[in-house]
Amino acid sequence: MALVLVTIPKRTGATDAADPESLHRSLVVKADQFVGPRYRGNTDSRSEVSSSGAVLTSWLADHEADNFAMKKGRWSLTSSPNTASRLLDSIDSRAGSYRYTQEVWGTYMAIIGDRSTDRFYAWNTVPTLEAVHYGENSEYIFISNRPLLVALGLAGGAIADIKLDPNYVREYLNVGYSVSGVTPFSGVKVLPPRTSLSVVGSATSVGPNPKPPEITLQDSEDPRRIGANELADAFQDATLRGIERRFSDSIQLRLSGGLDSRIVLGLLKDRKDLKITAVTQGSNDSEDVMVASELAQAAGIEHIVKHPDFVDSTDFIASLERSIFESQGYIPSESLVAPYANAAPLNPPEVLVSGQWPLFKGVMDKTMTNTLDYVQGKIYGINHRIANEYENALTDLAISEWLASVNANTNMELLYAHARDLRSSRYLQPHTIQADRESQIFYPFTDSQVTAVADALPTRNRVQNITAFLAVSEIWEDAVRIPMAYGTGFRFEANEPLQGISGPHYAARNRSPHPYDRPVVRDPDAEKRMAAYLYDPLQAASQYLVTSERWTEVREYLSVDMRARIDELASMRAGDSSKRYQKKAQRRMVSMHIWRIVLVDLWLARGWLALSDT
């Protein structure tokens, strides 16, 4: 990927003396603190793209190429390598709208323009790993795939003047990510789902994104098989694109005991030109570890099991703070994994491969139940657990406004749209930014071709995992002989095999996994330093909060019940919280909530803005 920043002077009398190139150079220098080791010092700037003096800068990691192309004054800038030239030849306008004249599949954020018109047009593919962020002050409009770069522009390059947006806190506490499009930074917006940004002179406008060619699924005598061939083809095409764009032959594949990562393993296992190491995070008694070991052995791939590394091996709270720094101001959506290193490359430079995010198998739409009460419970039910009534009402409003933006005839389509617009997009952005700092990201399921097939799948085939099962069976038949961890299985086999679909390996994949008795890599010294938070995370995190100098400010966001819960836990002796919350699932949920609050405390402290990699 590439990081991009576009600085566009506004056409007003106040900007006659503005020097966009000088400002841009200053921003590039200051940004080096945050962009990460893959990008630092490796920039390419251009100012010939407009008559207004706009400047484009790309941070190009690891000798990636073709993220900028220009022909006869028309140009394109993308976050993905090997994309700009094809995009320039494939985007056209007609009757006031942009459209793809031919598909340009992949995962990217793109900006196109024409020197003769001085117009700028930006959008991103779905799922939105690389989102368009933008903001403006009295002199400039800034566009980037990283909100911190826009915030730095708005602050004139002064890190101390970057303004945080407190509205971000409520949605993070309630949902774990932004629903409304609010970002961590005041004045910085993220492009709404299914839209594009247009900039002309001093004006910005949000309109529809360019519509790519639709995929038509072949009919089948058995309607349950519709879409399976197209999905398998999309997986394979996306994998080839990722391999062609790689900068290293060293691949770290995150392998679990579920469906998604075994599909990716099947796509990669026969590539003799790649050095693939499968990594599973866990312990000997984890079924994910047991199943992943079987998968790796069947594929003939090296497999390592390890406890996750800490972001900062010296201190637990420092790990949380640094995770915000590495996510460039976004707070990690999964608070329980925030202390742990994201990419954690084994053999840098390295490509990180994972099975994120499988729209094709149903994310929110996991059953055919589609009553209004059920769907509203799924969408609104994540709210009202941490924050006070005022913050909850505003989050409800943000969810309602998103719902109003979706054109859907059925409640099932609303659930699918939630996963498409938010769960597989906004949710993943902190993770993507953090991992991308150290490793090149390759997530085949986020490729726009895979999304286009998922969009077209019959609802039942998608929700019941039928299409995913048939596709993985075609790619790697052995994958459906091996069980899935914790008996999750395929939804269409919840009670019994499905005639005409399940095939001959039903019994094999419904057995218990083999035990794992090989070594597990761990860092006992780091674990000893983190002992208080690992032994009783509820009590330790609560004690941290009530002794924080920001506790009075943080409390204002919280419900009365959550305040009382934290006060109670903080007063306990270490280890006693397990008596108060005896069920594992309950302890995990309360831990997730309290760790979110700790992360908000650290975000408000702004200490992460002073961190660096040097």
Residue 17 has pLDDT above 60, yes or no: no
Higher local confidence (pLDDT), 599 or 95: 599
- The burial class, CB within 10 Å (0-12 / 13-18 / 19+), for 318 is middle
| CA distances from residue 460 to 17, 140, 468 in whole angstroms, order as listed | 61, 49, 12
Cα-based angle 251, 241, 82 (whole degrees, multiple of 5): 105
- CATH, range 2-165+182-208: 3.60.20
Residue 570 has pLDDT above 60, yes or no: yes
Cα 168 from Cα 216, distance rounded (Å): 40
Tell me how far apart the alpha carbons of residues 385 and 583 are, in angstroms, rounded to a whole number: 18
Q: What crossing angle do the helices spanning 560-571 and 584-605 adopt, rounded to 10°? A: 100
- pLDDT of amino acid 61: 83
360-378 per-position pLDDT tens digit: 997 777 888 788 888 888 8
The residue type found at 325 is: F
Q: Report the distance separating Cα 504 and Cα 524, nearest Å.
A: 45
Is it true that the peptide bond before 349 is cis, omega within 30 degrees of 0?
yes
Question: Under the phi-then-psi rule, with left for phi > 0, alpha for psi from -120 to 50, and beta for the rest, what region is 500?
Answer: left
CA distance 78 to 80: 5
Give me the mean pLDDT over the 297-315 stretch.
97
- What would the two tokens of residue 299 be? 């594929």
Which helix (H) or strand (E) segment holds residue 46: the answer is strand 43-46
Residue pair 67/11 in contact by the 8 Å Cβ criterion: no
User: How far is 134 from 193, CA to CA, in rounded Å?
Assistant: 14
Query: For residues 505 and 510, what is the distance between their CA atoms, to the nearest angstrom?
Result: 9
CB 388 within 8 A of CB 559: yes
Looking up tokens 């650290």, which residue turns up? 602
Amino acid at 64: E
In the predicted structure, residue 324 carries a pLDDT above the cut 90? yes
Say which range, 132-141, 197-206, 225-234, 407-416, has the weakest mean pLDDT: 407-416
Structure confidence at residue 557 (pLDDT): 97
Q: Residue 432 above 90 pLDDT?
A: yes
- Mean pLDDT across 73-97: 93
Does position 11 have pLDDT exceeding 80, yes or no?
no
Residues 309, 523: contact at Cβ < 8 Å? yes
pLDDT at 241 over 80: yes
Q: Residue 38 carries which DSSP code?
A: T
**pLDDT tens, position by position, 150-164:** 999 999 999 999 999
Output the average pLDDT for the chain. 94
Please compute the mean of the pLDDT values over residues 600-605 and round it to a whole number. 98
Q: Are 355 and 264 in contact (CB under 8 A)?
A: yes
- Encode pLDDT of 264-275 as tens digits: 999 999 999 999
Contact of 29 with 65, CB cutoff 8 Å: no
pLDDT at 553 over 50: yes
Q: What is the DSSP letter of 346?
A: S
Contacts of 153 (CB under 8 A, 6+ apart): 5, 7, 23, 27, 135, 140, 142, 144
Q: How high is the pLDDT of residue 18?
A: 62
pLDDT in tens, 205-214: 999 999 887 8
Residue with tokens 């492009």: 191
Domain 223-308+344-363+422-509: give its CATH code. Answer: 3.40.50.620
Please, what is the angle between helix 537-547 and helix 584-605, to 10°? 30
Interstrand relation of 189-190 and 43-46 (parallel, antiparallel or unpaired): unpaired
Q: Is the pLDDT of residue 533 over 70?
A: yes
Report how far Cα 386 is from the mean position of its chain's Cα atoms: 23
Q: Residue ranges per domain, the chain?
A: 2-165+182-208, 223-308+344-363+422-509, 309-331+530-614, 372-409
Of 358, 359, 353, 356, which Cα lies nearest the Cα of 269? Answer: 353
Angle, in degrees to the nearest 10, between helices 167-175 and 584-605: 170
- Whether the pLDDT of residue 13 is over 70: the answer is no
Measure the CA–CA gap between 612 and 614, rounded to whole angstroms: 6
- Reply yes or no on whether the pLDDT at 14 is more than 50: no
- Cα first-last separation, the chain: 22
Residue with tokens 């002309």: 200
pLDDT at 19: 80
Q: Report whether 159 contacts 609 (CB < 8 A).
A: yes
- For the beta sheet containing 203-208, the strands, ordered from the edge strand earlier in sequence to the opposite edge, are 68-71, 74-78, 109-114, 119-124, 195-200, 203-208
DSSP string, 378-404: HHHTTSSSSB-HHHHHHHHHHHHHHHH
Tens digits of residue pLDDT in 460-505: 999 999 999 999 999 999 999 999 999 999 999 999 999 999 999 9
How many Å apart are CA 135 and CA 29, to the nearest integer? 20
For CA atoms 32, 35, 36, 42, give the dihedral sign.
negative
DSSP state of 420: I
DSSP 515: P
